Amino acid sequence: MFSRCISRCLFDSKTSFTCLSKTGFKLNNTSCMKSACHRDINTYKSNLKRSLIPFSSQVVRHFSAVSRKAPQTWLTQRLVTSLKTFRQSTTQAVPSGTSEHAQKMVGRWLLLCSGMTFGAVVLGGITRLTESGLSMVSWHLIKDMKPPTSQAQWQAEFERYQSFPEWQYLNKGRGMTLTQFKQIFYMEWLHRMWGRAIGLVFALPAAYFWHKGWFNKGMKPRVIVFGGLILFQGLLGWYMVKSGLEEKTGPSDVPRVSQYRLASHLGSAVILYSLLFWSTLNHLVKDQKVTQKVTNLRTLKILGHSSKAMIFVTTIAGAFVAGLDAGLVYNSWPKMGDRWIPQDIATFEPKLKNITENPTTVQFNHRHLGEITLLTIAALWVVSRKVNLPSRARLAVNCMLGMSLIQGALGVTTLLTYVPVSVAASHQAGSLILMSYALWFTNELKRIPK
């Protein structure tokens, strides 16, 4: 393999370098070596990058072995340094030729986008908890940006809302006033405007950074994926709202959005946030020097990724709880009523429908998925105590354990207090905070050499 690598590496004849044979590099015209290198160093680096991209690892190892057997020449030292620098540049999110300022600017932009996505998830949760999501009965990209301003406009909007099921079956009987309608309308309007703001904050700087050449080949596809997910979120949000504006066929169905579409909307938001936050860490967090070999690294990675998966699955299960108002069926803990397994857990036919449509089963699943998540994180923490982790990774896993305990306490409190808006919204935000710590920890593990 190495001889094939060497045979591909040909430098410009003016530099008096030639790659020869299987034994290593020979140097012709040694008397002009340094002057040639200084004169054509840019050509040297350019040819080197084009020739050795697939083989840089083998070349570095070869020269390291040679250096242990014979005194290093100036050329050998220079080549090894250049190859190591090239390998590091391929893992950066911006090209190596850009300044550190550019790296930080891209990282701060990604941090802002991930923070705004976090805010959108919290706002969406509050919108659902306050039953505000069906107050805007139409979707227009530009027209919806301006809410009603005059009394006549508000009255017309209220009358339009009154023609849909939520008013007819719920809020008409509650005697909702125009003032109360304004409150839920503004909540939904704020959520939609926040989503549009995310699109602008993402798209405009992304176009500028792309034009400036601050994205490398690995980052460019990610930026396209981020933009696609943001657009998909907007379309999926309206698709979800539309399901709540349709007349229900069942006699006991209440006007609300489909729990399947709600879970999809939340799930894609969590994925978008996770990808943005991961890229933020890659830009802004520098590698930490590791002085000792870390043992059980594979076990830590398995438990770390398993924790992220469990956090995500538990969050999606929570979306089904919210969509079916399942948090109001059994407000006791640790038992559901006076039983560990309630009698109505499998009353729907076919039986599989109970998993996503029976409020009792949905709450049962969310409870125990949360407990499994907590146990997984606890196991990760116990294993990490026996490992000599770097300080940042140690802090991240400690934060994971602490946040998982807080999140569990918030979940129980939400249940026992009959789902108040403030506590339930904190519980939903807690899931993203816990995911953030899990992403941080696994990102730190990625930086530890094997």
pLDDT in tens, the chain (450 residues): 444 444 444 333 334 333 333 344 433 444 444 444 444 444 544 454 444 444 444 544 554 444 444 444 555 555 545 544 444 443 445 555 567 888 899 999 999 999 999 999 999 999 999 999 999 999 888 888 899 999 999 999 999 999 999 998 889 989 999 999 999 999 999 999 999 999 999 999 999 999 999 998 889 999 999 999 999 999 999 999 999 998 776 545 678 899 999 999 999 999 999 999 999 999 999 988 887 788 889 999 999 999 999 999 999 999 999 999 999 999 999 999 999 999 999 999 999 999 999 999 999 999 999 999 999 999 999 999 999 899 999 999 999 999 999 999 999 999 999 999 999 999 999 999 999 999 999 999 999 987
Is 449 in a helix, a strand, or coil?
coil
CA triplet 439, 212, 277: central angle to 5 degrees?
A: 10
Q: Which residues pair with 18 in a beta bridge?
A: 26
Q: Tell me the one-letter amino acid at 318.
A: G
Identify the pLDDT of residue 23: 40
- Cβ burial of 157 (10 Å; 0-12, 13-18, 19+) is buried
- Is residue 134 within 8 Å of residue 241, measured between CB atoms? yes
Q: Report d(CA 136, CA 186) in Å as an integer.
A: 9
CA distances from 279 to 58, 140, 220, 238 (A): 29, 32, 12, 28
Cβ atoms of 244 and 256 within 8 Å: the answer is: yes
> How many CB atoms lie under 10 A from the CB of residue 115?
16
Dihedral pair phi/psi, residue 17, rounded to 5°: -105, 140
Query: Which of helix, strand or coil describes residue 187?
Result: helix
Q: Distance of CA 319 to CAs 17, 127, 143, 257, 421, Å?
A: 64, 13, 30, 11, 15
| Backbone dihedral region for residue 139 (phi beyond 0: left; psi -120 to 50: alpha; all else: beta) | beta
CA distance 431 to 411: 10
Asked whether 362 and 416 are in contact (CB, 8 A), the reply is: no
Rg (Cα) of the chain, in Å, rounded?
29
Q: Which residue has the tokens 């008397």?
A: 31
Map residue 12 onto helix, strand or coil.
coil
Q: Report the pLDDT value the prediction gives residue 95, as an integer from 0 to 100.
A: 55
* Alpha-carbon distance values, 273 to 36, 124, 396, 439 (Å): 51, 14, 18, 11
Please tell me the predicted confidence (pLDDT) of residue 291. Answer: 74
User: H or E element: which one contains 427?
Assistant: helix 421-446
Distance CA 410, CA 422 (A): 11
Please choose, from the candidates 132, 349, 327, 339, the residue with its C-alpha nearest in 3D space to the C-alpha of residue 244. Answer: 132
Distance of CA 438 to the CA centre of its chain: 11
d(Cα 172, Cα 159) in Å, to the nearest integer?
12
